[in-house]
Chain A
Amino acid sequence: GNSVTQMEGPVTLSEEAFLTINCTYTATGYPSLFWYVQYPGEGLQLLLKATKADDKGSNKGFEATYRKETTSFHLEKGSVQVSDSAVYFCALSVMDSNYQLIWGAGTKLIIKP
């Protein structure tokens, strides 16, 4: 079946630290991969996406590369800010599931000044 596994949180970092949030997946077929972010008290927003192997999605200083050989889509940022504090969700969609999103459990990120 299709599934997404994310590293458990919370992840606590100091401002300007390097961030990695791990995400691995299992999927039938060729999934599209997404990172969504949820700021406190808000809905989910798409952060970035990648639709085929070796694609790199990027936005707001965040990056993730679609690695088919390791079935991973790790989220990285070179220098985090307090405003990056949020919950980050990794997700995939596949055609044979009618493009439903399969979600990871989310990783809470806390950035301390």
Chain B
Amino acid sequence: NAGVTQTPKFQVLKTGQSMTLQCAQDMNHNSMYWYRQDPGMGLRLIYYSASEGTTDKGEVPNGYNVSRLNKREFSLRLESAAPSQTSVYFCASRPLGNYNEQFFGPGTRLTVL
């Protein structure tokens, strides 16, 4: 049981390049989330997917797109990377149920030059 996995762990991009961050969970969770974490700002929600086939914007969606490929996988795409997108990105998943917590992946550290 790997939990929540993210690839890659580190990435350096040039301004304007595109890339996709991958996230997968093997816990049969319904909901999945993408966050970014910047120094002194805590976690900010980019997009989430309450269930397979649905996605919704979070607090900071501009410059990102997501795909809920199936129940296991939820990818985050940067179409044209900008230096302001330099951050650590975390994926999380959550099972159904009122009181359940989110489970986090190890993160992807992205630098945009």
Contacts and interface: CB of A to CB of B under 8 A. Distances in A.
Interface string A102-113: 011110000000
Given A42-B106, A45-B104, A103 B99 contact: no
Interface in A40-60: 42-46, 49, 51
Nearest to B94: A99
B79 interface: no
Contacts of B101: 34, 46, 49
Contacts of B105: 43
Nearest to A8: B40
Contacts, number: 49
B33 to A, nearest CB: 8
Instruction: Sort chain B's interface into a size bin.
Output: 20 to 34
Given A34-B101, A44-B104, A98 B50 contact: yes
A43 B107 contact: yes
Interface of B: 31, 33, 40-43, 45, 48, 50, 56, 58, 90, 92, 94, 98-107
Given A36-B104, A98-B48, 16 more contacts: A32-B98, A32-B99, A34-B101, A42-B106, A43-B90, A44-B92, A46-B101, A46-B102, A51-B98, A51-B99, A95-B98, A99-B94, A100-B58, A101-B45, A103-B43, A105-B40
